[in-house]
Structure 1
Amino acid sequence: MRRIVTTSVAALLAGLACAPGAHAASRLVVQGHGFGHGIGMSQYGALGYAEHGFSYTDILSHYYEQTSVVPLASEPDVRVLLQTARRATITGAVAGPDGPLDPAKTYVATSSAGQVALATGGKRVGVYAAPLRLSAPAGGAVQLRGMAANGLRDGRYRGALEIRPAGGSVQAINAVDLEDYVRGVVSAESPANWLAEQLKAQAVVARSYAVTTNVGSTTDGIDQYADTRSQMYKGVAAEFPSTDAAVAATAGQVVAQDGKPVVTYFFSTSGGHTENVEFSFLGALPRTWLRGVDDPFDSVSPRHTWTPFTFSGTQVRQRLHGLVRGSFRGIKVLERGTSPRIVRAEVVGSNGVTEVTGPQLRQRFGLYDTWATFTYISSKVKKPATPKAPKDPKAPAVPGAPIDNGAATAGTPVDTTGGQAASIARRRPSELTGSIDRARRGRRVRIERRDGATWRTVATTRVRTGGRYRAPLPGPGEYRVAFGDIAGPSVNVR
């Protein structure tokens, strides 16, 4: 069920004007859980299930509710876009459009007036209609030189490479049997040394994803990308005995609902709960098998809970360029999903608000996930103003006239101004003031002073209306306010 959240984050820096010589700073602290979009199977969560003795079918039925694992009626080839470049350089091919090729030779394919030209040793072999297909030997692989979209240089791939013109460039597409494709995915997505049941679950979801999604059209010959726009695919480089065994043990199996294969999104780390597809992929339709579920064993992930992200006021303005109206005041979460990842939020400024989505905030701040909380803290040192000395009723109206207040004796100087003011000023300490947007009225916060490499609590105070706080400081030093496990920016008192 959707949850509407009205957590206020109005950080009121306006009105905290600094007295001369004061020091002020602000900080945005972002805390959160998880890594990825949050939909479907959490890979670390699946590992946790495997560690607790659950089978791959148990794992899949947990993350994809109302589904079962069934065999495919037939297994298609998959066409994966590996590279777009001025030329495609291939070795190891044994067959081309005109018959056998020498696997020891290097072949270069380029675009030529909407067709594909093939050359070797500087001599043209021919010009062919697309796609130009260069096949690997049975049980072997062809090598694509240069950098591929999956980050591999000079990678090796089973099946065949199909070359298509793309303007002045060519696309190198790996046409590969579904099972060989899955062999090239599993260890690229889950470490090969993970437990067998998790690797089996990964193999089934990789196969299911491949047969239910298509990034291309009927004319461009592309089904999948070789990177995270689809799922990571590294060809022969991803084949290990453990992952090959997982693929073989689940050969032809997919996740299905009512006998029909379904899209099986997956991601790294849930933080303890997965998310409904419509709350993460905004605009997507709800799916019964892509609903958020508890993920009790995901804590094995190093990003189950993040180390907080911290941004200075300047960094916040840079990250939110174009979204802040006036001066930045905070981020107000309007709606969370079931996990609770952010669906909608507002960037609050002194001149108004701008509505944003959780994915936008994740992208702007470089966060691991949209399961996040934002705490904006401002701090300043307010020094006491130098008070005026009380006026002496017996002081002469004429400047320079002698003073006689009846108390001075001969030879004793009389100070009716500066000394008295300085004494009053010494009795009034500097104060640390500011606001914490997520702190409720009455919440106790700590005032800390740096002592070498550590921070020590020197005072506490309670938060006032609007998250504002104020506390006297015991003397010179470097100070900050601490709210739970969140520390504000440091400021100096001299």
Structure 2
Amino acid sequence: MRRIASALALAGLLTTASTGAASAFTIRGAGFGHGVGMSQYGAAGFAEHGWTHEQILTHYFTGTEIGHADTDTVVRVLLQSPQTATFTGATNAGTKKLDPGRTYGARAASGGRVDLLDADGRVLATFDAPLRATNGADDPVKLLGTAGNGVRDGAYRGWLEFRPGAMGEVLAVNAVGLEQYVAGVIANEAIPSWPMEALESQAVASRGYALTTRKTESRGWDLYPDTRSQVYRGVTGENPNTNRAVNSTAGEVVTYQGDPITTFYFSTSGGRTENIENAWPGSPPQPYLVGVDDPYDDGSPYHRWGPIRLSKAQAAGKLGGLVKGSFVGVKVTKRGVSPRVVKAVVIGTGGRTTVTGATLKARFGLRDTWMTFNAPSADVGPQPSQDPATAPLPGPDPPSSGGSKAGVSR
């Protein structure tokens, strides 16, 4: 990857309110994501320049070290919440022996219990929740679903758990060992052909993110299978290269003063990451989540983006009720260290409205809050340059029907 060329130029005067507002409103920007923590394309660039995954991670997370977590930790991922969940590949469900070649179902029953169904919907047995479906040969169990209805079907390591939901649905949860979970994540969050040290960085970041963001088990699950947590697809999401990265970093997490930290990551920094308090106003500053130089992320297609050209009427339409009177432009009043937009004002002929960078990103449908505008002229922040194989480690055994195996968190 190319090194980012020279320092970023200051934004020039493109139009002013005093000389008459231009009919066009132009946005240019850099980066893709929230800007906090590890840039994934940047990590790939560092790896191509010979950095180890330890060096990459401790660069992005200031003042940290690499520590270890318990690889026997179990995490629980909510996969579906249908009226009836169907599955195959299980040899047992509760105390019932099953044929792994047949399809079965689970649905909520009265009294916090779960019905086990045959393929025709007949009740075979009713169990206290959670009903656990396992495979005695440690093969994956497959959760089924209809394409397009939003459920997460596929083959999963560990075991499946079913329990009643709050609205009469059944919650289908994959209970899986931490290492197997990470194996089902990183091929969906990174590019498997990237250098191994970049994939190892992703494995460590995903492992720590899961451990520090998982919820309590009072609701029966810890994590989502999508971007609300991390994109997890079970066996379907595994890749030989990313599995190798999981195995070679088994148990590794990023720590600060001995404690695991939330290892935020995102696609593309544009050349510098951002302080957490600037990216998410209201978040307390963290000494390990501060902006750092990211010189090798220009292999990303989103290192620079734009220009996006809108008429003043189109821009006003996207901003909606934020515009007072007729739309004049946007003035940035505070930038972070990267320099992503923290605060700005939307200027209209009838007054000004203060907004966050995140609001502008959402309203205009942008990739990042690192952005500049051509009007009015008071944005003096820096402007982007316009040049553009191995299987996972064995997982823990399913718990007995009498209790749940506790996962280890920080």
TM score, norm. by length of structure 2:
0.84
Q: What is the CA–CA distance in structure 1 between the aligned matches of 2:103 and 2:63, rounded to whole Å?
A: 51
Partner of residue 233, structure 1: 232
2:187 alignment counterpart = 187
One-letter amino acid of the counterpart of residue 199, structure 1 = L
1:98 equivalent to 2:98? Answer no
**What is aligned with 1:35?**
32
Q: 1:116 to 1:299 in 2, by over 3 A?
A: same
Q: Is the 8 A contact 2:80 2:152 kept in 1?
A: no
- Does residue 1:178 correspond to 2:178, yes or no? yes
- 1:355-394 matched pairs, under 5 angstroms: 355-376=354-375
Identity across matched positions, percent: 48
Once residues 171 and 155 of structure 1 are traced to their aligned partners in structure 2, the CA distance between those partners, rounded to angstroms, is 16
2:218 is the counterpart of 1:219: yes
Matched, 1:200 2:196: no
- CA 1:232/1:163 → structure 2, altered by over 3 Å: closer, same or farther? same
Does 1:44 find its partner at 2:41? Answer: yes
Indicate whether 1:87 and 2:84 are aligned: yes
**CA offsets 1:410-441 (integer angstroms, 9 cap, x no match):** xxxxxxxxxxxxxxxxxxxxxxxxxxx2389x
Q: Which ranges of structure 1 fall in alignment gaps of 5 or more residues?
A: 17-24, 377-436, 441-483, 486-494
Over 3 Å counting, the alpha-carbon distance change for 1:150 and 1:268 in structure 2 is farther
User: 1:304, 1:49 → 2: CA distance?
Assistant: 15
Deviations 1:267-293 (A, max 9, x none): 000000000111112211111111110
Q: Say whether the 8 Å CA contact 1:344–1:357 is kept in structure 2.
A: yes
Check the 8 A contact 1:149/1:226 in 2, yes or no: no
In 1, distance between residues paired with 2:239 and 2:71? Answer: 25
SS in 2 for 1:28: strand
Pair 96,347 (structure 1): closer, same or farther in 2 beyond 3 Å:
same
Give the Å deviation of 1:186: 1.1
Residue 115 (structure 1) aligns with: 113
Q: Secondary structure at the match of 2:226?
A: coil
Give the Cα–Cα distance (whole angstroms) in 1 for the partners of residues 378 and 354 of structure 2.
22
Q: Closer, same or farther in 2 for the Cα pair 1:138/1:331, shift >3 Å? A: farther
Q: Which residue of 1 aligns with 2:210?
A: 210
Aligned counterparts of 2:153 and 2:196: Cα–Cα separation in 1: 29
Match of 2:5 in 1: none
Secondary structure of the 2:316 match is helix
Q: Please state how far the C-alpha of 1:131 moved relative to its aligned partner.
A: 1.7
Match for 1:307: what amino acid? G
Give the superposition deviation at 1:138: 3.8
Distance of 2:305 and 2:315 partners within structure 1: 19
- The answer on whether the counterparts of 2:67 and 2:253 sit within 8 Å (CA) in structure 1 is yes
Q: CA 1:11–1:438 in 2, change beyond 3 Å: closer, same or farther? A: closer
Q: Residue 73 and residue 93 in structure 1: after superposition, are their counterparts in 2 closer, same or farther (change >3 A)?
A: closer
Worse-matched range after superposition: 323-332 or 216-225: 216-225
- The C-alpha deviation readout for 1:19-73, integer Å capped at 9, x for no partner, is xxxxxx7222110100000000000000000000111111011101111112224
Tell me which residue corresponds to 1:65. Answer: 62
2:349 is matched with 350
Ranked by relative contact order (alpha carbons within 8 Å, sequence separation 6 or more), the top structure is 2
In 1: Cα distance, 2:150 partner to 2:38 partner: 24
- Cα RMSD, aligned residues only: 2.6
Asked if 2 retains the 8 angstrom alpha-carbon contact of 1:362 and 1:369, the reply is yes
SS state at 2:323 partner? coil
Distance 1:298 1:327, change over 3 A: same
Matches within 5 A, 1:403-482: 437-438=376-377
SS at 2:124 equivalent = strand
Looking at structure 2, the residues matched to 150 and 178 of structure 1 have their Cα atoms a distance apart, in angstroms, of 28
TM-score (norm 1): 0.70
- Structure 2 residue aligned with 1:319: 318
Question: Pairwise mapping of residues 128-277 of structure 1 onto structure 2 (< 5 A)?
Answer: 128-146=127-145, 154-166=153-165, 167-214=167-214, 216-277=215-276
Given that 1:9 and 1:329 are in contact with CA atoms closer than 8 Å, whether structure 2 keeps it comes out as: no
Residue 205 of structure 1 aligns to a residue in which SS?
helix
Change (3 A) 1:112 1:235: same
Distance 2:149 2:250 in 1: 24
* Higher percent of residues as strand: 1
Deviation at 1:354, TM superposition (A): 1.2
- Aligned mates of 1:149, 1:277 — CA distance in 2: 36
User: C-alpha displacement at 1:151, in angstroms?
Assistant: 6.9
Distance, in Å, in 2 between the alignment partners of 1:86 and 1:158 is 23
Q: How far apart in 2 are the matches of 1:7 and 1:353? A: 22
**Whole-angstrom CA distance in 2 between matches of 1:351 and 1:184:** 53
Give deviations 1:140-161, integer Å, cap 9, x for gaps: 2111112699978631111111
Q: 1:43 to 1:149 in 2, by over 3 A?
A: farther
Distance 1:65 1:138 in 2: 44
Query: Does structure 1 conserve the Cα–Cα contact (< 8 Å) formed by 2:141 and 2:156?
Result: yes
CA distance, structure 1, for counterparts of residue 155 and residue 256 of structure 2: 35
Tell me how far apart the structure 1 counterparts of residues 246 and 149 of structure 2 sit (CA, whole Å): 21
**1:279 aligns to what?**
278
Once the two structures are overlaid, the 10-residue window that deviates more, 216-225 or 320-329, is 216-225
Preserved CA contact (<8 Å) 1:134 1:161: yes
Offset, 1:75: 3.4
**Contact 1:9/1:331, CA 8 A, preserved across alignment:** no
CA deviations on 1:352-371 (whole Å, 9 max, x unpaired) are: 11111111111111100000
Residue 317 of structure 1 contacts residue 324 of structure 1 at CA under 8 Å; is this kept in 2? yes
Q: Quick one: which amino acid aligns to residue 208 of structure 1?
A: G
Deviation at 1:313, TM superposition (A): 2.4
